[in-house]
């Protein structure tokens, strides 16, 4: 049934149902329909169903459900229902309503940006009711939802057998390989989507720093910087975010005739997935410094009171602008690439740690495969990440994989020059500099953590290990007595 004025058709059998018909939900419903599936569509406010069928009903087979029972009656069993509503309370409300009316073996899929711990809780509750619950990360924005997103479904393996082929079909494909795979049990899909978003924050922060270095360091205009990004997109940095940076920087504001970017308020907002990534990394003990700097940089941009109060504070003597502009542009591109490698290395470490902590059995290389297309962080170099994990599934860090090791070797001098120049010019580069510090810290043989341990032992008898003893052995110096050492 395709007509917009049809009320319902309980005789039709739909292979998939979508509830929540804002832009993402509508587009994903259309994507299923474009692939020949009959799609049941439902929305709390039926006007949204009308709008979808009015505008796009002729694109494929849709069947409307004005109420949840009506919607469920049109679905083939086991029923597969994709929820595309705002994460949080609305999701719980829809899940409960669906679960009350569903039957054993039916599958509820949450395609929103839900917090992975919510997904763990919901999966358990739904499993106990004899139903299947799949928390699926979906990336790619409105355009991706319509033409092929990257999909990260978690949940029971057996539900993937029934659901996977549909999701794989509507996902983006790269070299014939779908950008969708079963991630692991319960909250694993939303966990990797969360880390994806954290990396997205980091990528965008690094791009912002590169833009500011070219703007304030070289005095380039937004359209000139757009051309630089367009060039960069032809090389190692080839990625969706670099591509659309050129588009945004090229855009002229119709009202003022200025570059649009020059009239947009410089206060970055966030819905929370970057912050969740950092909170989870803190719990797991994984230093995702690039992502953390990106989240804090957004918070700093929005610290309007502090920013107003500090305008005009001393800068000290600022160095001169780079004299060789071409060399500086090349240095910035290399610093951007090296910092980006660090951000991905940290994100993949978080995925490995999360998988271990929650016993998910995630294959990190699979994430690189399904992020090659459809998602916001899609980039040419994800092929290299995939190769690195194919060669060494237990890779300690991407930084030691031969390709990345060489890429950083080729970039390191430029990276240092950029951080030095930025510091001399007073241009903030928290992403570039923290990534470089992370790299330097990892490769440093002796860190000052030995002194930290000594101080902890001094004031709190917290003990320390010794370089010449079993790492598990603990020692304490009798600081307030004769300062001899005892083994604990
Ligand atoms: C994606 C995006 C998408 C959304 C972010 C934006 O993968 O398609 O990440 O999920 O654009 O949630 O997040 P912020 O509003 O926090 O920047």
* Predicted confidence (pLDDT) at residue 145 exceeds the cutoff of 70: yes
Dihedral of CA atoms 180, 171, 132, 84 in degrees, nearest 10, equals: 130
> Is 220 labeled as ligand-binding?
no
Continuous segment of H or E residues that includes residue 258: none
Statement to judge: residues 53 and 120 lie in one domain: yes
Statement to judge: residues 472 and 403 lie in one domain: no
User: Cβ–Cβ contacts within 10 Å for residue 267, how many?
Assistant: 12
Determine whether the shortest distance from the Cβ of 154 to ligand 1 is under 6 A. no
CA neighbor of 94 nearest in space, from 147, 42, 151: 42
CATH of the domain at 344: 1.10.1040.10
CATH of the domain at 464: 1.20.5.320
Using CA atoms, how far apart are residues 309 and 312, in angstroms rounded to an integer? 9
pLDDT in tens, 229-279: 999 999 999 999 999 999 999 999 999 999 999 999 999 999 999 999 999
Give the domain-ending residue among 160, 182, 204: 182
CA 90 to ligand 1 center in whole angstroms: 18
CA 362 to ligand 1 center in whole angstroms: 22
Q: Is residue 31 included in any domain, yes or no?
A: yes
Determine whether the shortest distance from the Cβ of 354 to ligand 1 is under 6 A. no
Statement to judge: residues 286 and 391 lie in one domain: yes
Determine whether the shortest distance from the Cβ of 197 to ligand 1 is under 6 A. yes
Q: Which band of pLDDT confidence, cut at 50, 70 and 90, is reported for residue 5?
A: very low
CA neighbor of 37 nearest in space, from 67, 4, 71, 12: 12
Statement to judge: residues 475 and 421 lie in one domain: no
Q: Is residue 267 included in any domain, yes or no?
A: yes
pLDDT in tens, 433-471: 999 999 999 999 999 999 999 999 999 999 999 999 999
CA neighbor of 345 nearest in space, from 387, 379, 297, 395: 395
Query: What's the number of domains the chain is made of?
Result: 3
Please report the pLDDT score of residue 4 as a whole number.
38
Statement to judge: residues 369 and 317 lie in one domain: yes
Q: What does the DSSP assignment read for 300-346?
A: HHT-HHHHHHHTT----PPPPPPS-HHHHHHHHHHHHHHHHHHHHHH
**Both tokens of residue 246?**
């050129």
Statement to judge: residues 127 and 169 lie in one domain: yes
* Predicted confidence (pLDDT) at residue 45 exceeds the cutoff of 50: yes
* Predicted confidence (pLDDT) at residue 2 exceeds the cutoff of 80: no
Q: Is residue 173 included in any domain, yes or no?
A: yes
Determine whether the shortest distance from the Cβ of 138 to ligand 1 is under 6 A. no
Pocket test for ligand 1, best of 141, 195, 277, 374 (most atoms within 8 A of CB): 141
Q: Whose CA is nearest to atom 2 of ligand 1?
A: 139
Give the domain-ending residue among 147, 182, 217: 182
pLDDT in tens, 61-76: 999 999 999 999 999 9
Q: Whose CA is nearest to atom 17 of ligand 1?
A: 270
pLDDT in tens, 368-418: 999 999 999 999 999 999 999 999 999 999 999 999 999 999 999 999 999
Please report the pLDDT score of residue 12 as a whole number.
56
CATH of the domain at 77: 3.40.50.720
Q: Is residue 174 included in any domain, yes or no?
A: yes
Across the chain, what does the average pLDDT equal?
96
Range of the domain at 42: 16-182
Tell me how far the alpha carbon of residue 443 is from its chain's centroid.
Answer: 26
Please report the pLDDT score of residue 87 as a whole number.
81
Q: Is residue 463 included in any domain, yes or no?
A: yes
Using CA atoms, how far apart are residues 476 and 71, in angstroms rounded to an integer? 68
Atom of ligand 1 minimally distant from the CA of 201: 17
Statement to judge: residues 408 and 479 lie in one domain: no
Give the domain-ending residue among 182, 207, 241: 182
Please report the pLDDT score of residue 89 as a whole number.
85
Q: Is residue 361 included in any domain, yes or no?
A: yes
CA 100 to ligand 1 center in whole angstroms: 31
What's the rounded mean pLDDT across residues 334-345? Answer: 98
Q: Is residue 2 included in any domain, yes or no?
A: no
177 in helix, strand or coil? Answer: strand
CA 241 to ligand 1 center in whole angstroms: 13
Q: Which band of pLDDT confidence, cut at 50, 70 and 90, is reported for residue 11?
A: low
pLDDT in tens, 154-177: 999 999 999 999 999 999 999 999
pLDDT in tens, 280-328: 999 999 999 999 999 999 999 999 999 999 999 999 999 889 999 999 9
Determine whether the shortest distance from the Cβ of 268 to ligand 1 is under 6 A. no
Statement to judge: residues 463 and 413 lie in one domain: no
Please report the pLDDT score of residue 1 as a whole number.
35
Using CA atoms, how far apart are residues 245 and 170, in angstroms rounded to an integer? 27
Statement to judge: residues 312 and 383 lie in one domain: yes
Statement to judge: residues 363 and 320 lie in one domain: yes
Please report the pLDDT score of residue 9 as a whole number.
45
Q: Is residue 383 included in any domain, yes or no?
A: yes
> Is 34 labeled as ligand-binding?
no
CA neighbor of 114 nearest in space, from 137, 138, 87: 87
Statement to judge: residues 225 and 317 lie in one domain: yes
- Active centre residues (catalytic): 193, 200
Statement to judge: residues 166 and 198 lie in one domain: no
């Amino acid at each position: 049934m395709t007509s917009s004025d049809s009320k319902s058709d309980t005789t039709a059998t739909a292979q998939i149902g979508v509830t929540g018909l804002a832009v993402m939900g509508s587009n994903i419903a259309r994507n299923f329909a474009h692939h020949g599936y009959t799609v049941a569509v439902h929305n709390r406010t039926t006007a949204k169903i009308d709008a979808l069928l009015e505008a796009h009903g002729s694109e494929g087979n849709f069947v409307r459900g004005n109420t949840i029972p009506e919607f469920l009656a049109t679905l083939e069993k086991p029923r597969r229902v994709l929820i595309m509503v705002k994460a949080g309370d609305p999701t719980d409300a829809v899940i409960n309503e669906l679960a009350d009316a569903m039957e054993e073996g039916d599958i509820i899929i949450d395609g929103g940006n839900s917090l992975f711990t919510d997904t763990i809780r919901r999966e358990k509750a739904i499993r106990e009711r004899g139903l299947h619950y799949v928390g699926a990360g979906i990336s790619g924005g409105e355009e991706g939802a319509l033409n092929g997103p990257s999909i990260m479904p978690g949940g029971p393996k057996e539900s993937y057998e029934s659901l996977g082929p549909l999701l794989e079909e509507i996902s983006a494909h790269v070299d014939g390989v779908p950008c969708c795979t079963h991630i692991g049990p319960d909250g694993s899909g939303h966990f990797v989507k969360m880390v994806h978003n954290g990396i997205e924050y980091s990528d965008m922060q690094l791009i912002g720093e590169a833009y500011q270095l070219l703007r304030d360091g070289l005095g380039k205009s937004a359209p000139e910087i757009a051309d630089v990004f367009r060039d960069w997109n032809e090389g190692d940095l080839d990625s969706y975010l670099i591509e659309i940076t050129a588009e945004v920087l090229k855009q002229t504001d119709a009202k003022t005739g200025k570059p649009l970017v020059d009239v947009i308020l410089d206060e970055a907002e966030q819905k929370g997935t970057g912050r969740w990534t950092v909170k989870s990394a803190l719990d797991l003990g994984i230093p995702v410094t690039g992502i953390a700097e990106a989240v804090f940089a957004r918070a700093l941009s929005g610290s309007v009171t502090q920013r107003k109060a500090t305008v005009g504070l001393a800068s000290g003597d600022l160095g001169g602008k780079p004299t060789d502009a071409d060399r500086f542009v090349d240095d910035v591109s290399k610093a951007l690439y090296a910092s980006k490698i660090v951000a991905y290395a940290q994100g993949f470490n978080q995925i490995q740690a999360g998988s271990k902590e929650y016993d998910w059995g995630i294959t990190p290389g699979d994430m690189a495969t399904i992020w090659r297309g459809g998602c916001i962080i899609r980039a040419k170099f994800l092929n290299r990440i995939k190769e690195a994990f194919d060669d060494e599934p237990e890779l300690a860090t991407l930084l030691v994989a031969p390709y990345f090791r060489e890429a950083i070797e080729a970039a390191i001098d430029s990276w240092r020059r950029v951080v030095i120049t930025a510091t001399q010019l007073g241009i903030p580069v928290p992403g570039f500099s923290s990534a470089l510090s992370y790299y330097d810290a990892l490769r440093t043989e002796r860190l000052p953590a030995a002194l930290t341990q000594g101080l902890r032992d001094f004031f709190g008898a917290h003990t320390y290990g010794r370089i010449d003893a079993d790492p598990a052995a603990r020692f304490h110096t009798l600081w307030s007595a004769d300062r001899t050492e005892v083994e604990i």
